[in-house]
Structure 1
């Protein structure tokens, strides 16, 4: 079965699902199943970090380039906030990872904001100036 895992993941996944549904745990590839389940969880954390990165990038642009504010930035900020709230509601245990996710995402957002604005990385605060509450609050717009 491990060979199928490496050579035909689709077939392996369907076989494993059938074995689990049949209660045939003794024939299931438990180690790889556990690995895939863990991978799904990591994917949810990556999704959180990606949403935060996009949001922070646009909040930084909003704050540091006020004369260039656009409807597109505003709508992207609103969209990311909606998606973040929904993602956290669907995965409430991610709230325990929020502080680290914010730290990681903010570092990426500085690089992306510098790339998009042409400003130096040092122009942006080196620690995230947005609280988790501000990040997802539709009423919060950085001055």
Structure 2
């Protein structure tokens, strides 16, 4: 059995009909719709299992990478905050708060990512040091070899624009 992506009047989901399913190589989005419809119709024998497996693995990597990216941005700005306090800006504090929210959302939406925060932090820290070095001109050797922040510091350490000395600005 194959599928048709025309929607039923009472649904926003594709339905199964006799139309030929789209090929993975030709139309990824259409192929995804087709695979969803086949799964919902319990047409497991018609599923493109090898490509579904490949896409699910990529989805997992993508979720992990989103966590790494948010941690990297927090670390980037914490490093600048700590190593260039005279240049602290309101935008750094805002970015830290925004990315902390993204981290919380990622872990809330995918709780199993919590077991990956150490690995994500190691990856993120290496990139953050490189980013800060390139942005500020500070030597990479200025920064610790391993991340100086524990999880609480990354996600909870108070960062307040009001605490910054603005007298030299």
Q: TM-score, normalised by structure 2?
A: 0.78
In 1: Cα distance, 2:54 partner to 2:22 partner:
15
What is the number of equivalent residue pairs in this alignment? 141
Higher relative contact order (CA 8 A, sep 6+): 1
Distance (whole Å) between structure 2 residues aligned to residue 11 and residue 88 of structure 1:
29
Alignment of 1:54 onto 2:73: yes
Compared CA separation, residues 11 and 86, structure 1 to 2 (3 A):
closer
**Alpha-carbon offset, residue 134 of structure 1:** 1.0
Structure number having the greater helix percentage: 1
> 4+ runs of 1 displaced by more than 6 Å?
none
**Where is the strand percentage greater, Structure 1 or Structure 2?**
2
Q: Rg: which structure is higher?
A: 2
Structure 1 unaligned segments of length 5 or more: list them: none
* CA-atom RMSD in angstroms: 1.8
TM-score, reference length from structure 1:
0.91
- The answer to whether the Cα contact below 8 Å between 2:74 and 2:96 also exists between their aligned partners in 1 is yes
Name the SS for the 1:7 alignment partner. Answer: coil
Equivalence map 1:1-143=2 (5 Å): 4-139=23-158
What are the ranges of 5 or more consecutive residues in structure 2 without an aligned counterpart?
1-19, 161-169
Secondary structure of the residue aligned to 1:130 is: coil
What corresponds to 2:5 in structure 1? Answer: none
